[in-house]
């Protein structure tokens, strides 16, 4: 029979990625965790039912409250987030947004206050500033990277500081030890870090003093662009409050998705280490290209948070953001020239994806509204996959050729059409 290590103590991340959360299997002596495809669980007697409700027997009752496959994935994620801790818990959800929204619903009430850095996923910002506002929760948005503004924003009503690190799309890296020190001066404040772009391979916020860490497992953790999931990790006493809220709100993860997540997690260190290396090489190359106005990647000395990234990150991830010397339409034509990278949202998977941020994520806003949020018309977000780095670079060269031709007055639209015909 397959069995998980009795303790994660002393085991390294790659070992935990494969073996943590792998309980002994009664089903066919399976090496992998089977899919427990059931919505409900039978009791042998009313006495067993009473034992369960009175805490004498730990077992499953109903699919919204627990599933063996989901629980195995939660145990693996908890071990990856803080290998040396025996009290870390994890709770999985049907999406990353279900994870963050349920966590905030569990921790906040009418009259509370949230501090939110301005740069980050727009749906998270919309939930905090619009949806929570309807429930009487107020928010102060501060500029990304402005530690003094963040400190000034904390008030007696503040209960949560919520930030990504690295952020989307400019990959700002929060000085987490400084934030933790700030939080210590305000003991009622919980620090939540969305570390989707970092993964436990590159940074583990709980070890640095954060209260909770959130991931969209859809991205690197699943890693194959084939599932939706989200997770909240932290001390089990705090996570249990969020789990109780999930059981009421209902944003549970399907066991099939949990199975795919378990499979993806086993190769997480290998994939992220490769993406770290590829993305750094691509970022350095992009900085040398005349059609590129600026590159945003924490591994570059030119990034505003490079020094912080060197202290806190073991790698800068697989996302590279860069601004083309092009307007909205030319940037769109340039991305159409890609043969390899797919024009698609999301990131962190084995396939290289590319998007024009102004169109993909902010299509409904005017140019002025986008500019107010710092979204340039030529901003491109590249998520490198596991293809050969030279092939990815050659694909970007096609993008830059369209920009070059447009700048020189050549027919960029015709060039794009010709390139697409060859693919």
CB 398 within 8 A of CB 419: yes
Classify domain 13-34+66-265 at the CATH class level.
alpha beta
Average pLDDT for residues 152-164, to the nearest whole number? Answer: 96
pLDDT in tens, 249-290: 999 999 999 999 999 999 999 999 999 999 999 999 999 999
Average pLDDT for residues 229-236, to the nearest whole number? Answer: 98
The pLDDT of residue 144 is above 90? no
Confidence at residue 413, expressed as pLDDT on a 0 to 100 scale: 46
pTM for the model: 0.92
- Same topology, domains 13-34+66-265 and 268-422? Answer is no
Fold of 268-422: 3.90.1150
The pLDDT of residue 206 is above 80? yes
pLDDT in tens, 315-341: 999 999 999 999 999 999 999 999 999
Catalytic residue, candidates 19, 41, 64, 362: 64
pLDDT bin (cut points 50, 70, 90) of residue 25 is low
Average pLDDT for residues 398-414, to the nearest whole number? Answer: 83
Domain boundaries, the chain: 13-34+66-265, 268-422
219 is catalytic: yes
Residue 227 has which token pair?
Answer: 């599932």
Confidence at residue 5, expressed as pLDDT on a 0 to 100 scale: 44
Catalytic residue, candidates 71, 76, 112, 121: 121
Handedness of CA 67, 71, 72, 77 (dihedral sign): positive
64 is catalytic: yes
Q: Mapped to the 3 state alphabet, what secondary structure does the chain carry?
A: CCCCCCCCCCCCHHHHHHHCCCCCCCCCCCCCCCCCCCCECCCCCHHHHHHHHCCCCCCCCECCCCCHHHHHHHHHHHHHHCCCCCCEEEEEECCHHHHHHHHHHHHCCCCCEEEEECCCCHHHHHHHHHHHHHCCCEEEEECCCCHHHHHHHCCCCEEEEEEECCCCCCCCCCCHHHHHHHHHCCCCCEEEEECCCCHHHHCCHHHHCCCEEEEECCCCCCCCCCCCCEEEEEEHHHHHHHHHHHHHHCCCCCHHHHHHHHHHHCCHHHHHHHHHHHHHHHHHHHHCCCCEEEEECCCCCCCCCHHHHHHHCCCCCCEEEEEECCCHHHHHHHHHCCCCCEECCCCCCCCCEEEEHHHHCCCCCCHHHHHHCCCCCCEEEEECCCCCHHHHHHHHHHHHHHHHHHHCCCCHHHHHHHHHHHC
The pLDDT of residue 412 is above 70? no
pLDDT in tens, 366-395: 888 888 888 999 999 999 999 999 999 999
Confidence at residue 418, expressed as pLDDT on a 0 to 100 scale: 42
Task: Calculate what percentage of the chain has a pLDDT beyond 90.
Answer: 82
Confidence at residue 4, expressed as pLDDT on a 0 to 100 scale: 47
Confidence at residue 131, expressed as pLDDT on a 0 to 100 scale: 97
Catalytic residue, candidates 194, 211, 305, 395: 194
Picking from 265, 282, 280, 268, the residue whose alpha carbon sits closest to that of residue 317 is 280
Confidence at residue 24, expressed as pLDDT on a 0 to 100 scale: 62
Task: Calculate what percentage of the chain has a pLDDT beyond 70.
Answer: 93
Confidence at residue 326, expressed as pLDDT on a 0 to 100 scale: 97
pLDDT in tens, 66-89: 999 999 999 999 999 999 898 999
Catalytic residue, candidates 76, 159, 219, 404: 219
Residues forming a β-bridge with 322? 295, 380
Confidence at residue 10, expressed as pLDDT on a 0 to 100 scale: 78
The total of other beta-carbon atoms located within 10 Å of residue 392's CB is 24
296 is catalytic: no
Average pLDDT for residues 192-205, to the nearest whole number? Answer: 98
């Amino acid at each position: 029979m397959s069995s998980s290590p009795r303790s994660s103590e002393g085991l390294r991340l790659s070992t935990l990625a494969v073996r943590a959360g792998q309980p002994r299997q009664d089903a066919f002596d399976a090496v992998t965790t089977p899919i427990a495809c059931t919505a409900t669980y039978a009791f042998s007697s009313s006495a067993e039912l009473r034992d369960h409700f009175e805490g004498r027997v730990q077992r499953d009752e109903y699919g919204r409250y627990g599933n063996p496959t989901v629980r195995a994935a939660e145990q693996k994620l908890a071990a990856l987030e803080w290998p040396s801790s025996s009290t870390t818990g994890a709770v999985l959800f049907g999406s990353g947004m279900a994870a963050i929204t349920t966590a905030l619903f569990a921790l906040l009430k009418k009259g509370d206050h949230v501090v939110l850095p301005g740069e980050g996923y727009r749906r998270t910002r919309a939930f905090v500033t619009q949806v929570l506002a309807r429930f009487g929760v107020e928010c102060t948005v501060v500029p990304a990277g402005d530690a003094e503004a963040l400190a000034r924003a904390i008030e007696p009503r503040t209960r949560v500081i919520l930030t990504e690190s690295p952020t989307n799309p400019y990959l700002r890296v929060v000085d987490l030890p400084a934030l933790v020190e700030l939080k210590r001066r305000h003991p009622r404040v919980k620090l939540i870090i969305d570390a989707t772009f970092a993964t436990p391979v590159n940074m583990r916020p709980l070890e640095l003093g954060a209260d909770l860490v959130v991931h969209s497992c859809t991205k690197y953790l699943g890693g194959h662009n084939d599932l939706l999931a989200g997770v909240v990790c932290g001390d089990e006493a705090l996570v249990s409050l969020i789990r109780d809220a999930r059981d009421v709100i209902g944003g549970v993860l399907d066991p099939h998705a949990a199975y795919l997540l378990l499979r993806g997690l086993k190769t997480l260190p290998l994939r992220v280490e490769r993406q770290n290396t590829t993305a750094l090489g691509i970022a350095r190359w992009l900085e040398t290209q005349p059609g590129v106005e600026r590159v945003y990647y924490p591994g570059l000395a030119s990034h505003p948070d490079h020094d912080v990234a060197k202290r806190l990150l073991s790698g800068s991830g697989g996302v590279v953001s860069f601004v083309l010397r092009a307007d909205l339409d030319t940037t769109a034509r340039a991305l159409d020239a890609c043969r390899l990278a797919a024009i698609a949202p999301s990131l962190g998977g084995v396939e290289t994806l590319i998007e024009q941020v102004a169109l993909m994520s902010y299509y409904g806003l005017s140019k002025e509204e986008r500019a107010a949020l710092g979204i340039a018309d030529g901003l491109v977000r590249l998520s490198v996959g596991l293809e050969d780095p030279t092939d990815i670079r050659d694909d970007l060269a096609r993008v830059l050729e369209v920009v070059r031709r447009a700048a020189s007055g050549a027919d960029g639209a015709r060039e794009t059409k010709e390139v697409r015909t060859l693919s």
